[in-house]
Amino acid sequence: MSSIMNRTMTTPNVVEIAPEVKPPTWRAKLSRNPEWFTAALIVAMCVIVGAINPRFFQFATLFDLLHSATTMSLFALGTLVVLASGGIDVSFTAIGALTMYAITKAVFAWWPDAPFALILIAGAVGGIVLGVINGVLVHRLKAPSLIVTIGTQYLYRGILLTFIGTTFFMNIPHSMDRFGRIPLFFYHTVDGLRAVLPASVLALVIAAVVTWWLLNRTMMGRGVYAMGGSLAIAERLGYNLRAIHLFVFGYTGMLAGIAGILHVSNNRLANPFDLVGTELDVIAAVILGGARITGGTGTVAGTLLGVVLVTLINSVLILVGVPSTWQKVIIGAFILIAGTLFALQRKG
């Protein structure tokens, strides 16, 4: 009995108190999922536009948005990969314009009955070649990718306008014209109009899935994010920086080439001046989707949400009487708000 009492008296009662688990703050949530901010802006804009113009809430509007956003989305997915690696590319529209116009003109002149799949592959290969040139220059020159791609943008545009042509033509190869008319789905609105979901949306879905898989399920994707986080650390970890540079710019060029071919097919018009000036809209969409300009971050879902937001601003606001001159003002304001919120959550 006494031994039990002694043990009881000599052994202190230790009560372990679990540390208090605080619920994540809005800053932490925004840090992990920055695309939530973009999604909230989209919902708010849809509610406002729908309240002003109830006709906004119909499938025809969705089909028009998807049609308008296909080319920009392909450009944005390529831009996401470059931004995630810590670089920036502004030559993708020039790559898209050069490949689409040169290939369309060549096919129409020499093989007007060429199958569309072959034309699409030619656009992808042409884009890869032009993109890899960017990657080689960035890696060999050790120069900022912005400077390099500004130079190649002018180079590619100059080659197009000087040696290939400056006039648009509506006579495109038959297979491209047929593909542009293929509907995935269509219906007739109450006004008797035919609302069509184009087949080119399939290319967007495939590109989004492939980009997500490359960035999240492959060693190359890990290398892209690692290089964007810190070039020196990525090199110490054993990543091949040359291979990553060639991959990110080649992949961006491939998507740009595909986007160019689809652009001609959907519009049934080859214009060498098309796509010029959309670079800032694309980069804005990727940044609004949560990617940092300094690299190391960014998601496919956020990028697509950013494209939706920019497309809504550019295409839908005019339906409710907002002048087109205000579109850039609104996009700029959203970028500043997003940048401020992301900066606050990093400090928190």
Query: What integer pLDDT is reported at residue 14 of this predicted model?
Result: 46
Instruction: Give the count of beta carbons closer than 10 Å to the beta carbon of residue 130.
Output: 27
**DSSP 8-state symbol, 18:** P
Instruction: Give the count of beta carbons closer than 10 Å to the beta carbon of residue 218.
Output: 11
What sign has the CA pseudo-torsion 202, 196, 127, 311? negative
The residue assigned the tokens 């906004």 is 56
Give Cβ neighbours of residue 110 (< 8 Å, ≥ 6 apart).
Answer: none
Burial class (CB in 10 A: 0-12, 13-18, 19+), 209: exposed
Instruction: Decide: 177 and 108 in contact? Cβ < 8 Å.
Output: no
Query: What integer pLDDT is reported at residue 290 of this predicted model?
Result: 87
In a domain? residue 4: no
- Domain with 85 in it: 69-280+291-299
Query: What integer pLDDT is reported at residue 24 of this predicted model?
Result: 55
Query: What integer pLDDT is reported at residue 346 of this predicted model?
Result: 56
106-89-297-332 Cα dihedral, nearest 10 degrees: -110
Instruction: Decide: 70 and 262 in contact? Cβ < 8 Å.
Output: yes
pLDDT in tens, the chain (348 residues): 444 444 444 444 444 444 554 555 555 555 567 788 889 989 998 888 888 888 888 888 888 888 889 999 999 999 999 999 999 999 999 999 999 999 999 999 999 899 999 999 999 999 999 999 999 999 999 999 999 999 999 999 999 999 998 888 888 999 999 998 988 887 777 776 777 888 999 999 999 999 999 999 999 999 999 999 998 899 899 999 999 999 999 999 999 999 999 999 999 889 999 888 889 899 999 998 988 888 889 999 999 999 999 998 888 777 767 777 787 788 888 888 877 776 665 555
CA pair distance 72, 280, nearest whole angstrom? 11
In a domain? residue 252: yes
Instruction: State how far Cα 173 lies from the chain centre.
Output: 28
At 103, the amino acid letter reads I
The residue assigned the tokens 């020159």 is 141
Number of domains the chain is built from: 1
Instruction: Decide: 164 and 105 in contact? Cβ < 8 Å.
Output: yes
Query: What integer pLDDT is reported at residue 25 of this predicted model?
Result: 56
CA pair distance 71, 197, nearest whole angstrom? 14
In a domain? residue 31: no
In a domain? residue 259: yes
Query: What integer pLDDT is reported at residue 165 of this predicted model?
Result: 84
Query: What integer pLDDT is reported at residue 32 of this predicted model?
Result: 64
In a domain? residue 333: no
Burial class (CB in 10 A: 0-12, 13-18, 19+), 97: buried
CA pair distance 126, 100, nearest whole angstrom? 9
> Structure pTM?
0.89
In a domain? residue 317: no
Query: What integer pLDDT is reported at residue 4 of this predicted model?
Result: 43
Query: What integer pLDDT is reported at residue 18 of this predicted model?
Result: 46
pLDDT in tens, 260-307: 999 999 998 899 998 888 898 999 999 989 888 888 899 999 999 999
In a domain? residue 27: no
Paired tokens of 76:
């944005």
In a domain? residue 326: no
What sign has the CA pseudo-torsion 121, 122, 127, 130? positive
Query: What integer pLDDT is reported at residue 300 of this predicted model?
Result: 96
Strands 183-188 and 194-198, bridge-based pairing: antiparallel
CA pair distance 254, 97, nearest whole angstrom? 13
**DSSP 8-state symbol, 19:** P
